[in-house]
Amino acid sequence: MTLQRWGSFSKLAAGFVFLASRRLALLPNYKHVCPFSQCAANMAEEAKKLAAYAAVDNHVQNNQVVGVGSGSTIVYAVDRLAERVRQEKLNIVCVPTSFQARQLILQHGLTLSDLDRHPELDVAIDGADEVDGDLTLIKGGGGCLTQEKIVAGCAKHFVVIADYRKDSKALGQQWKKGVPIEVIPMAYVPVSRMVAKRFGGEANLRMAVNKAGPVVTDNSNFILDWKFEHAQNWKEVNTAIKMIPGVVETGLFVGMAERAYFGMEDGSVQIRDPPVN
């Protein structure tokens, strides 16, 4: 087929496709159906947005210092925070937990600070990879667990935002990638062996996707992902792992979150507080 004929043929085919789509759109019972994976992704993103907006609206007030977490859900929290600052003329200072959070704060024109100038925060808002019934969290899927835990620990109130996929009765139910452990590079092999020996499962070095070699944190450390075999006493395990020489921090957040917001599939927001002992 010559180039000229191919061009004419493609125009004709495009015309048929256009007419067919127009006719389908005019049918009374026709609805455009997105692929399942795309619809699920859109639903999850909307759920993240609902949770983030609810947390910012309920916990951020004028003249506060706010800890800004990391990850995909926090993007919506910063969007809402910036919107409220503009609309309500709020005086808000933001302390980031990562390079990503810092860039989000600057991109939205919010006031950037750090723990040197503001060592005590009014509230910290962050996402989670998984949240259990006791509000114990697994965090660190994005590699920022140490800064996230430091900022959360400096806040009077620590609030978690997530979509419905992160909600679990027990850790490991939804999140299958394990507990992140940030380690000094020279110690990753002995730490990996010791964690597996003492607590079971396996602790694997997290490898990078778009670079050769392992993931390197903002602190120039490595990350082990510990895939545990069964439920544990997370408070005791967290303390024990942190005592291993070479461990910087774990992605277990035990007894730190005071409230979690979950954006749900039906468009509602579910709020969970820790159980009263």
Does 5 have pLDDT greater than 50?
A: no
Q: Which residues contact 251 (CB under 8 A, 6 or more apart)?
A: 129, 137, 138, 139, 140, 141, 145, 179, 180, 181
Question: Which residues are CB-neighbours of 100 under 8 A, at least 6 positions away?
Answer: 70, 71, 142, 144
**Catalytic site includes residue 148:** yes
Pairing of strands 155-163, 259-263: parallel
Amino acid identity for residue 184 in this structure: I
Q: For residues 219 and 178, is the Cβ–Cβ distance under 8 A? A: no
1, amino acid identity: M
Given this model, what pLDDT does residue 29 score? 53
| pLDDT tens string 178-233 | 999 999 999 999 999 999 999 999 999 999 999 999 999 999 999 999 999 988 89
Predicted pLDDT at 34 = 59
pLDDT value, residue 268: 96
Q: Indicate the pLDDT class of residue 38, thresholds 50, 70 and 90.
A: confident
pLDDT (0 to 100) of residue 270: 97
Residue type, 133: G
Provide the 10 A C-beta neighbour count for residue 2: 7
Domains and CATH numbers, the chain: 40-272 (3.40.50.1360)
130, 148, 182, 249: the active-site residue: 148
Instruction: For residue range 85-140, list pLDDT tens digits in order.
Output: 999 999 999 999 999 999 999 999 999 999 999 999 999 999 999 999 999 999 99
pLDDT digits (tens, 9 = 90+) for 58-88: 999 999 999 999 999 999 999 999 999 999 9
Cα-Cα-Cα-Cα dihedral of 72, 76, 81, 83, to 10°?
Answer: 140
CA distance 11 to 75: 42
Q: What is the pLDDT of residue 276?
A: 82
Q: Which pLDDT score is estimated for 33? A: 56
Which band of pLDDT confidence, cut at 50, 70 and 90, is reported for residue 21?
very low
**Predicted pLDDT at 248:** 98
pLDDT of residue 153: 98
Query: What residues pair up with 222 in beta bridges, in sequence order?
Result: 183
